[in-house]
Copies of this chain bind each other. A is one copy, B any other.
């Protein structure tokens, strides 16, 4: 499932600069689960996640990878990597304020980027055999999961989840 044509509402804004979207498969990802969040549409998603006060979300893991959760409860924060599957991939300059003034894609955290991978800090709330409960996600419900790692950089101390 490579990036499909972007939805109709994601047009190029005045001043934005597009190049040829990536078509080479230098490396391939196999999704290992999905994220369950309250946001059913892209437009409902918050600008960024809140690992202190954001809503509880689930990180669901497919069966082969569940043993990989052993010991994850030792960590109060995790880094969740996911694939922004609704994002177009071809803009090098973007106008986030719709005003013709542009910034380079790498100076923005826009989902629109050549490889739409997001790496988000979450607080770990609960550990289960097949999923985690976390705070701090900001993506649409059903977003594909790429990876889970301990987070090296907590922005604020929160109580650790009970050890798994």
Q: Which residues of A contact B (CB under 8 A)?
A: 1-3, 17, 19-20, 22-32, 48, 64-72, 74-75, 78-79, 81, 83, 85, 92-93, 102-109, 113-115, 117, 119, 121, 144, 146-150, 152-153, 155
Task: Determine chain A's interface SS by DSSP, over half rule.
Answer: mixed
Bound Cα distance A71, B94 (Å): 11
Determine whether the beta carbon of A147 is less than 8 Å from that of B113. Answer: yes
Chain B residue, CB-CB nearest to A49:
B152
| Stoichiometry, copies per complex | 2
Bound Cα distance A72, B144 (Å): 28
Determine whether the beta carbon of A27 is less than 8 Å from that of B26. Answer: no
Bound Cα distance A66, B114 (Å): 12
